[in-house]
């Protein structure tokens, strides 16, 4: 699968929009201390003040500046997103690819674990664990990653299974390449577009889960998080304060999530030969890939493989 993702994204308005919004939020997170004179945990002297020159979005029930907390909340969200994306997708690639390459009992063991974890309602299990541990940031990242890799591992495995029968892999093997060399130099570069789209999905889920757990009040109370701000603000809907406390937080969280979905959908579409861009058929294959049904994987899995072979041909011939 040889796709120039950079080219695909530059020519997709949705993806561009997603990247722009994400870049803006990233800048907010990086330059948070420069964009606000306050500390996010500092008591400013007044509670529930309305937006003014001193306080762009007013202050909350604890007398903290809301705009500052929004900025620092972006740091938490993006940090969790990036860490989980890296960690979970590494696990997916490692376990998925090694299962496909090693095979046998090892493969059956991991695929059974994947089946089991996929059939569990992830958020529920995470709420339970978080309720006991009240995880701090590193623990939260580990927790979300630990529950995010199975879907990706299954996709990577099915991709590697078809890839390893390709000629250039055979060729490498006859030259004496070992499994690790093949994985590193042939398989990972070949599935890199899939890894990219996997990371975006992992990042999206991570942002949502972090906010969700904080919204339920089960993560470490010291973390400055959009979810927690909404949790606090929801108790004061009878005051006007929701207009500059609850709403901006929710909008920023939604913007982050929607941008990540736009980017993800665009990547999926770039990889799927059946979905020619101008036909707006986004997201079809994406849904299939996420389906955790054995029957489905079997049927659509075969279809995918055929299509991928066809796609390489058609791209070389300048098709689509």
Rule CB under 8 A: which residues touch another protein? 112, 115-117, 119-121, 123-125, 127-129, 131-132, 208, 211-212, 215-218, 230, 234, 237-238, 242, 246-247, 250-251, 253-254, 257-258, 261-262, 265, 274, 279-284, 287-288, 290-296
Q: What is the DSSP string of 267-312?
A: HHHHH-TTS-GGGT-TTHHHHHHH---HHHHHHHHHHHHHHHHHHH
Which residues have C-beta within 8 Å of that of residue 175, sequence separation ≥ 6?
A: none
Dihedral through CA 126, CA 23, CA 266, CA 251, nearest 10?
60
Closer residue to another protein, CB minimum distance, 167 or 295: 295
Closer residue to another protein, CB minimum distance, 168 or 284: 284
Closer residue to another protein, CB minimum distance, 38 or 215: 215
**From CA 298, how far away is CA 288, in angstroms rounded?**
11
Closer residue to another protein, CB minimum distance, 261 or 309: 261
At closest approach, how far in Å is the CB of 10 from another protein? 21
At closest approach, how far in Å is the CB of 148 from another protein? 15
Closer residue to another protein, CB minimum distance, 186 or 204: 204
Q: Which residues pair with 267 in a beta bridge?
A: none
At closest approach, how far in Å is the CB of 12 from another protein? 14
Q: For residue 315, with 0-12 CB atoms within 10 Å meaning exposed, 13-18 middle and 19 or more buried, which class applies? A: middle
Residue position matching structure tokens 């500390």: 39
**From CA 180, how far away is CA 163, in angstroms rounded?**
15
At closest approach, how far in Å is the CB of 147 from another protein? 12
At closest approach, how far in Å is the CB of 31 from another protein? 25
């Amino acid at each position: 699968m040889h796709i120039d993702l950079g080219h695909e994204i530059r020519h997709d308005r949705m993806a561009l929009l997603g990247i722009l919004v994400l870049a803006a939020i990233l800048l907010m997170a990086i330059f948070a201390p420069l964009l606000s004179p306050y500390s996010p945990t500092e008591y400013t002297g007044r509670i529930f003040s309305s937006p003014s020159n001193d306080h762009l979005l007013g202050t909350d029930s604890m007398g903290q500046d809301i705009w500052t907390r929004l900025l620092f909340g972006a740091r938490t969200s993006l940090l969790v997103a990036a860490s989980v994306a890296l960690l979970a997708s590494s696990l997916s690639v490692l376990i998925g690819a090694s299962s496909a390459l090693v095979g046998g009992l090892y493969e059956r063991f991991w695929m059974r674990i994947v089946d089991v974890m996929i059939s569990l309602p992830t958020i529920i299990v995470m709420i339970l664990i978080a309720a006991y541990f009240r995880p701090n940031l590193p623990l939260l990242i580990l927790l979300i990653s630990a529950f995010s890799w199975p879907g990706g591992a299954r996709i990577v495995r099915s991709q590697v299974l078809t890839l390893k029968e390709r000629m250039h892999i055979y060729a490498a093997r006859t030259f004496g390449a070992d499994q690790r060399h093949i994985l590193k130099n042939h398989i990972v570069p070949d599935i890199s577009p899939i890894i990219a789209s996997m990371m975006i999905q992992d990042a999206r889920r991570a942002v949502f889960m972090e906010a969700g757990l904080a919204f339920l009040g089960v993560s470490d109370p010291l973390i400055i998080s959009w979810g927690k701000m909404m949790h606090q603000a929801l108790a004061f809907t009878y005051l006007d304060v929701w207009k500059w406390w609850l709403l901006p937080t929710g909008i920023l969280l939604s913007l982050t999530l929607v941008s990540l979905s736009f980017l993800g959908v665009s990547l999926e579409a770039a990889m799927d030969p059946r979905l020619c861009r101008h036909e707006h058929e986004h997201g079809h294959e994406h849904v299939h890939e996420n389906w955790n049904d054995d029957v489905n994987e079997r049927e659509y899995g075969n279809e995918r493989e055929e299509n991928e072979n066809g796609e390489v041909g058609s791209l070389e011939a300048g098709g689509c």
